Structure 1
């Protein structure tokens, strides 16, 4: 079986990676053949430093050409990288407490991409790339061949409800996923992919970077923080490089939409998205109305509804599980209670799914339950974790996702653990969050909802100047309009920034936030119409 390193030698020498440190500067370019050469230099360097097959490497995956070459070198040697989150902000540092747990749990002995002090603190040997890149380097001797069962790297589950679990990715599973993804998104010779997603996350690493290395199309990469700071510059880049493919979580669509509504810059009139054929929308439950409003705003610039492809995936499946047909417009299902959910399409070949009730029985078409999966590229186990049965007695993996099937198409409602029970209904936290994030003063990903006994709590991160009198009532009214549920004014709180903890994939860690609230650790913003009262919830025995 061919490896990604094998494929790099076969691609058009004019194709390669364009890396943007910012969108106001020209990118750094490296052809795929030169990337292979750089990776071979790293192979020689790492071997000289003692790295051998089977060694385990803590690998904060930065968005850089050197990091990509280092990753390819480590897997080519046969060592095992653990792809972990990096700091988004320069100089912010990595989460040493998290890395210490990972290094100890999985007996890592090396690190790459860390600072010397951090590696020393973790008692890890730091790998350093050395030597000049020689474009004439043709082949490093003894690169690992592509055996289907070989373990290539370990990625991590989202960790939204528990500590992230190691997910082992084999060579066979990866190559099968790359074939699935490039078939679903109709990858062709001469295509152009653009991505801002972090490389430590499966969507950025596999769907963005590795599919491009597999298919040989140009890839334009930028650091995630640049997108967060300036989504309009990102949209401008898609137009300028005539991108044919991209990918984003729903958060990205929402973020862009709010900026488009506010921005009337003349350069928008010059944008052209007519060549954009595939825009995967995944990771988060999607607000259909916001997604289609985004498309309508850019329709005059050539963005077709059929370009937006809601999809479903997870680390435990290597990545993609389902996606809508690229000839279809995004589809919404309106339930009897008026709630809307977006179709994430049919299963890709090889997967099987069923929806189950809490007692394990099978749901009818359209009935909400837990999504269970098996087949295709499901990894079958967590890495060196005997405490968890990956498959249940029926041979299915219980995803923890709440959803339903209609005529073979999957609709995602949210996470099982994020259910909100009110007035005899079962809603999901993200439904409340999507409702309030439609308001102009609430940024995407800056609200969280959880339930404490019979109270539904809404916390919203806003700058102090946005916490104006009357705005909490606006939040309540938005939820009433969308869901027909009225929150108590005392349960709607503005909080200071930096307190909404998230996973490496950007998902809210609602239980962690709720527990911080119960411990009175949340810093509130007082408004002229409200002064939050501290309550010792622990004495009251409240539960999330």
Structure 2
């Protein structure tokens, strides 16, 4: 089959005889979209999309279709229909336009992608049209969900029937346009071509052992690369079952994820670190579930924390969860998704390295627990991929154990170094810092999120982890730190802005001071750093659509004096 598939449309057509399916979980019960029905359903919808997009396409040559649909099955149909119509799908955020952050992101993607058509949930069509008064870009909804007509029914259109004005078959070389999450910069578009997607699907099937017998259960949003590739494209390639939990359902009740893993006898799942941490903390009776069939629990999208792996493993041991199923991975939108992952037949490496040696640019095992930094391996490169570590200044390749910038090359990598063609030896510099150890990749953090105090290197996420663990009244994953001088402040070395949990918003002054003191003490003890903590209500920090704190925006808002409503105390170790 592989040789005959050179385009996503070929894969949709090949699944006319498939046995796989998408299952959307809703409060009313599961809804099923069989792979065998995709060509028919999406072929009919492709005709509708082509007609709606025609004015912008014919007048200005635009081909992008921005798709922002909350219903996962509707999103899937629209995504493949756009491809079948010779258009380029652009996944967009699906939250209400009344949420300022999501409205800004949607409008930013709309302005950058210049689509010839925008497809959104019916309820927000009028509101979005009002925000685009020039009428240059058509906005439409899908109406009622398109349901399978049954075996042998004709939709009146065949995927191969989508033709351009001259009668030629339309097969866009760009498979879709993916926007980065925007955690360290404004979201930017990555053109993922057909060859990148197909290469990644072949790699993932081998790296994660996916087959027709696999059952994948996930909740990550489909407009993110993790959700799109893991929940939509990879199951279609392997012809297996993909069960989709609505992200909002997971946010409201994290226990719905292990419940679905158990009910559907999942073999594969994927989520960021915070998802596993949330389930470990908020699942009341883990022994009620059965996770014995789970062979791949991929953790990616943010730093993988050893304590999260341990907490989830301990919590779900009564459910039969095997800790060896954890597969920490490294990936990014510029590489379609996955670059490295831990081997299928072994648990991930968790190693204590010397913090002092890492600051000097060298990885060495820790001999003193007080000097230890625990890191989790992100595994080996997936088939056909090369990972190297180079000097940040753009110099040559470093040896194993030396810290530098991670560079990647492979058939799934959509962005390459300036002046390099695809397959070029230099590949792509990711901006992530790390090192190779026994052939496996260990990450330290983003280069942009590293800063110096007293000549020592620190990484934002490492310090933020210590902050949120300092007191149970702080909200996990909702803190940001940066050097005080970055915002013009005087005194302590660090500024800390941390959110309180929603259920602890009404603290007394004395309680707030105790939380601040806990943060100051923890940072002094762990890093010998002084701090000026600011406590803010839940929901204050600006986030990406994947839930990551936007550190740059936080620094700007702090400098502008926008973070108020909590206790501010400057204390701790000697100021420097």
User: By the TM > 0.5 criterion, same fold?
Assistant: yes
Matches within 5 A, 1:201-240: 201-240=224-263
Q: Which residue of 2 aligns with 1:169?
A: 192
Q: Which residue of 2 aligns with 1:457?
A: 495
Deviation at 1:61, TM superposition (A): 4.5
Q: Which residue of 2 aligns with 1:477?
A: 521
Distance 2:399 2:257 in 1: 42
TM-aligned CA distance change 1:396 to 1:33, over 3 Å: closer
The number of equivalent residue pairs is 512
Deviation string for 1:86-123 (max 9, x for gaps)? 21x69648844444443343432211115233035333
Deviation at 1:243, TM superposition (A): 0.9
Deviation at 1:366, TM superposition (A): 2.0
TM-aligned CA distance change 1:197 to 1:41, over 3 Å: same
Contact 1:148 1:171 in 2 (8 A): no
TM, length-normalised to structure 1: 0.86
Q: Which residue of 2 aligns with 1:341?
A: 375
Give secondary structure in 1 for the equivalent of 2:33.
strand
Contact 1:45 1:130 in 2 (8 A): no
Contact 2:161 2:169 in 1 (8 A): no
* RMSD between aligned residues: 2.9
Give secondary structure in 2 for the equivalent of 1:473.
helix
- 17, 22, 26: which one pairs with 1:21? 26
Distance 2:188 2:236 in 1: 27
Q: Which residue of 1 aligns with 2:154?
A: 137
Q: Which residue of 2 aligns with 1:511?
A: 552
- 68, 72, 93: which one pairs with 2:80? 72
Distance 1:140 1:391 in 2: 32
Q: Which residue of 1 aligns with 2:70?
A: 62
Q: Which residue of 2 aligns with 1:541?
A: none
Deviation string for 1:465-495 (max 9, x for gaps)? 35644122222334455x333333xx11111
Contact 1:44 1:140 in 2 (8 A): no
Distance 1:102 1:399 in 2: 22
Q: Which residue of 1 aligns with 2:45?
A: 42
Q: Which residue of 2 aligns with 1:448?
A: 480
Deviation at 1:34, TM superposition (A): 2.9
Give secondary structure in 2 for the equivalent of 1:20.
strand
Q: Which residue of 1 aligns with 2:453?
A: 422
Q: Which residue of 2 aligns with 1:158?
A: 181
Contact 1:61 1:200 in 2 (8 A): no
More displaced 10-residue stretch of structure 1: 277-286 or 102-111: 102-111
TM-aligned CA distance change 1:253 to 1:95, over 3 Å: closer
Distance 1:121 1:424 in 2: 49
Deviation at 1:147, TM superposition (A): 9.8
Distance 1:83 1:373 in 2: 25
- Give 5+ residue unaligned stretches, structure 1: 383-387, 533-544
Deviation at 1:250, TM superposition (A): 0.8
Contact 2:162 2:170 in 1 (8 A): no
Q: Which residue of 2 aligns with 1:377?
A: 412
TM-aligned CA distance change 1:450 to 1:368, over 3 Å: same
- 538, 550, 566: which one pairs with 1:497? 538
Contact 2:86 2:170 in 1 (8 A): no
Deviation at 1:400, TM superposition (A): 1.1
More displaced 10-residue stretch of structure 1: 449-458 or 342-351: 449-458
Distance 1:164 1:156 in 2: 6
Q: Which residue of 2 aligns with 1:536?
A: none
Query: Does 2:463 correspond to 1:432?
Result: yes
